[in-house]
Structure 1
Amino acid sequence: MVQNKLMINKLNNIIVVGQGAMGLLWYHHLSQQNISQSDIQNADKNKKVSLLASNQDSLSNNELETATYQFTAYQQTQTKAYPLSYSQMVDIELAEVIILCLKSFNIATAIKEITNSISPHCIIILAHNGMGTFEHVLSLLPYQQVILAMLTTHGCLRNAPLAITHTGLGQTDIGLLSGELSLSQQTQLTSQLNAALPQVSFHQDIVLKQWLKLAINCVINPITAINNIENGEVNKPKFTEQINALLTEITNVSKTENIDLVLNDLQVIVRKVAQATAKNSSSMRSDVLAGRSTEVDYINGYIHRLGERNNVATPENTRLWQQVLNLKNSSRS
């Protein structure tokens, strides 16, 4: 068995994939943490945090070397510019951790593009909405590659390309999907991520956490996108019957996957999340309004596919999945 040799020393060779809001948020906090440690420890210059962006192949050498991004910290009005270090091939080969902060439908493509350069000892962290990408990613990587899931509730808004505002403090959950990490490795990885952007917790039951987030997304995302409303309006009585139908289907499907979700608990969680993010625009609604592809295939569409596979009826999830897909070509005021 290939043993994971990482984390004898601190993890400094980190790549964040994706120049969206969440990718830049993690890149910012990890790179700033790395800089402060380098100043104190005089660390090896080959150890760094870099960003792998989808458009960097089109940039000139000068643009790559002088790149910056704009960051506005939580509850701050002043925007600051920071240097941006784009990942090169050597960075991918040396990477000890790769965090993929991408839309669900871009995860597999991104892995394919770098899979031949990834070390078998590298930790792959999948940070995206929805479920259904893991099986595909697993087929693209060596059998014993360490793959983790990352779920976060931090709020972040992309104001323009390479310009973000940290809009809400949250928490991040990580956990193992495949491969092996010792307890000390889990602790060290969690500690380093937590030092960069708290609060980060390691969970042995990350799949259950994924299902809980999936259930929330299956309700709030499509209802806000289809009705063009803010999150808080989901709690209006007119949506109660629809929400109960969605969550009932999700609990029924989850049981076929050996996941024990409780309908009453989900109802309470969805209501609390909608209330806590009342003035927010869901990612799916934002994507629809901007004419972008949504992740509905990996949210309600995932429930639809599991229902078909396991002979569980999911009419409401299926209907919303199809409705959101149809919104892509609709004009919105």
Structure 2
Amino acid sequence: MNQTRWTVLGAGSLGCLWGGYLNMAGMPVTLIHRHSVPAPDNLTLTPFQGNAEIPFQAELTTAKECPTESISQLIVATKAPDALDAVRGIAHALTPDAAILVLQNGMGAQQAIAEAFNDYAIIAACITDGAYRTSPGHVVHAGKGVSRIGALNEKGLQAEAAVLAQLQKMDLATEHCPDIYQALWNKLAINIAINGLTALDQCLNGELRVPARLARVKKLCQETEQVMRALQLSLPEEGLFYLAQSVIEGTAHNRSSMLQDTQKGKSTEIEYINGYLLDQAHTLGIDTPENQAVYDAVIARFH
């Protein structure tokens, strides 16, 4: 396996963030952007709490321009609804031993890729860093978190140590996660509690602290807990609602990713957040009316 070059599929905020930090750590990077969008003139990354835009280098290309069997290490940094089709679009370029690292928000896109590309090493990252672009190719590392890395299939288990060793050279916190499914659910639970409501009310995370909104957060958390218990997943000792309140407090001035999507006129990832919970709840025979209400409202208004 090529131990240096990384190909990043998706030139949005996360793709540029990871591509930038990988390149700054001395690794060559290929950044795949949409063929319908012009390539950025240059690329910069503003590190967390930094003021300067630091240039980084990446080979810019499109999926159609990727040579056959040229990608041995792929980071999928698209939005969840686009992820599976995006990987299919560059499937011709994957080497037989390629490792695929998926960064998607919510749940469902990772599993779809793992199922469709099970012949490859599939590894997921559960990310809590925040980033946004000021313009195409220019990204700001806005919130420092940690990326938990864990395999989604057998080949992923064999490849994850080598992949993590490279990722840990970057100035982004990464760590091995032996139970990535649990980690993804933990993040999903918080997204369920926050994202849809901030999109519907067009408010910052901290504005969910008003009583009427907080009551809805509590209902969403209670429904998520029911589903997680039925799936025999672990829950925080103090409960999801307490944890959600802590996140709301700690990110009070933040705009959720779903709020940002709606303000840019983009479709949301609701199918992979509240929608994923609804699918699980339906299979388990659990009633989740608050999640259904949020899901229906977001679909009606923004899709």
1:125 match: secondary structure = strand
Q: Distance in 2 between matches of 1:81 and 1:199?
A: 21
Identify the match of residue 305 of structure 1 among 265, 269, 279.
279
Alpha-carbon contact 2:69-2:96 (below 8 Å) kept: no
**Any idea what the Cα deviations from partners look like across 1:125-150, whole Å, max 9, x if unmatched?**
11011101133223422x33211111
Q: Distance in 2 between matches of 1:258 and 1:119?
A: 37
Q: 1:265 to 1:18 in 2, by over 3 A?
A: same
1:262 Cα deviation from its structure 2 partner? 4.9
Q: Distance in 1 between matches of 2:37 and 2:53?
A: 27
1:93 match: secondary structure = coil
Identify the match of residue 122 of structure 1 among 80, 85, 98.
98
Specify the structure having the higher radius of gyration (Cα).
1
Q: Distance in 2 between matches of 1:28 and 1:259?
A: 35
TM-score w.r.t. structure 1 length?
Answer: 0.83
Partner of 2:143: 168
Q: How does 1:59-208 map to 2 (within 5 A)?
A: 67-87=41-61, 88-90=65-67, 93-141=69-117, 143-181=118-156, 185-208=159-182
Q: Distance in 1 between matches of 2:83 and 2:160?
A: 23
Query: Does residue 1:325 correspond to 2:302, yes or no?
Result: no
Q: What is the Cα-based RMSD across aligned positions, in Å?
A: 2.2
1:180 match: secondary structure = helix
Alpha-carbon contact 1:100-1:107 (below 8 Å) kept: yes
Q: Distance in 2 between matches of 1:328 and 1:263?
A: 35
Partner of 2:223: 249
**Any idea what the Cα deviations from partners look like across 1:2-45, whole Å, max 9, x if unmatched?**
xxxx4xxx72121111111110000001112125xxxxxxxxxx
2:60 match: secondary structure = coil
Identify the match of residue 54 of structure 1 among 31, 34, 46.
34
Query: Does residue 1:19 correspond to 2:23, yes or no?
Result: no
Q: Please, which runs of 5 or more residues in structure 2 have no aligned partner?
A: none
Alpha-carbon contact 2:222-2:241 (below 8 Å) kept: no
Q: 1:200 to 1:278 in 2, by over 3 A?
A: same
Query: Does residue 1:29 correspond to 2:21, yes or no?
Result: yes
**Any idea what the Cα deviations from partners look like across 1:99-143, whole Å, max 9, x if unmatched?**
1111100001111111233123111111011101133223422x3
Q: Distance in 2 between matches of 1:15 and 1:171?
A: 21
Q: Distance in 1 between matches of 2:23 and 2:247?
A: 30
Matched pairs, number: 300
Alpha-carbon contact 1:231-1:279 (below 8 Å) kept: yes
Q: Distance in 1 between matches of 2:37 and 2:253?
A: 37
1:215 match: secondary structure = helix
What's the % identity of the aligned pairs?
26
TM-score w.r.t. structure 2 length?
Answer: 0.91
Q: What amino acid maps onto 2:184 in structure 1? A: Q
Q: Distance in 2 between matches of 1:304 and 1:181?
A: 28
1:284 match: secondary structure = helix
Q: 1:181 to 1:325 in 2, by over 3 A?
A: closer
Q: 1:134 to 1:154 in 2, by over 3 A?
A: closer
Q: 1:188 to 1:309 in 2, by over 3 A?
A: same
2:97 match: secondary structure = coil
